[in-house]
A and B are shown apart, each in its own frame.
Chain A
Amino acid sequence: MRPALRAGRDLGFWALCFLALAVVVAPSLAMVGTLLQQAGPALSLHLLTATTANNGLQNAVLGSLLIMLGVLLVAGPIGVLGGIYLAEFAPTGRAWLLRLGYETLAGVPSIVIGFVGYVLLAQELHWGFSLLSGIMALSAIVLPYVVKTTEVALLQVPSTLRDAGMALGLSRLTTLRRALLPPAVPAIASGLVLALAIAVGETAPLLYTLGFSDQDPSLSLFQHPIGYLTYVVYLNATLPTRLEHEVAGAAGLATLLLILALIGVGRLASRRAARFRAQLPT
């Protein structure tokens, strides 16, 4: 083939690739821009001092933080302990089965989890639209993520540490606590934080489990619906007036900032984890 033709193809191919990159990058910037533009006029302290009943976001911010805390308390311990089991204690066959289980759970559409949350928790167990129903539904969504990151974090700790523990006559638990967990902690923490980032951006599983309220959240676990940020975006996006769109934009911006902060913290933690690993013996 003629060299000019080959060079031309090369150029064309990479031009298309960079075009694809631009097409991916542009919308992410455009979305942030739209949120800023929509939220702009509404950005003031009023958002934090008034509830959604008065076009503020106080109750939604508090509600979202409350849900994050709940998910951390429920999915955090279960996921980390489960991940420890899969990485350190599970016989091969059983680990395979349980891994299949959580990976499949991760593939269940969030609205199906929300539907089950409504039928089982809100109705059957009479929890109603409440904090606990919402936390449980969200925990089901992020649990696979926490299990997976914990498992991977432990598997990245070199096995020589396990051998060393065994050679010293330490029990497996002591080896875990003293040698295996410390270098894995940053990576596990990064997984937890990213799980919270996923949780705070969800809407579908909460619609029929957490409900919505335009008042500040009560701390009651049962029967009290609670407002949260993503619902405000959803609701106000479909409402007609300018002011409502401004509040929707502000709620979206608040959610995004929360998520980006969490992703940032997760990034720091995982960079730390990589540094940690580099210091370990092979």
Chain B
Amino acid sequence: MLNIFCPHCGEQRSEEEFHTAGQAHIPRPLDPSTCTDEEWGEYLFFRDNPRGLHHELWIHAAGCRQYFNVTRDTLSYEIFETYKIGEKPSVTAKAKSAPLTSRTAGAKA
């Protein structure tokens, strides 16, 4: 049960108040009509599934009903930051190259 800081409510709430809405920062093409099939397919169907740092879109469904972004480690489930739509993440895979060793070490043999 994650504990997620809602950037609008300004406090941590339990995961059950939220819904995830998939990978963040995938803008709709400005004019889909001009997209090739490949570009459109990329937008519509393809998502990252990283082992480690991931930016996700969540909605505070039971609270303020706002969408926002979460930077989360998919191994440790640690949440490094949450930030409003339109803002950029401050924790990125490049900026945070140090691996989360303990969970990695704890992975199944």
Bind each other: no
A interface, CB within 8 angstroms of B: none
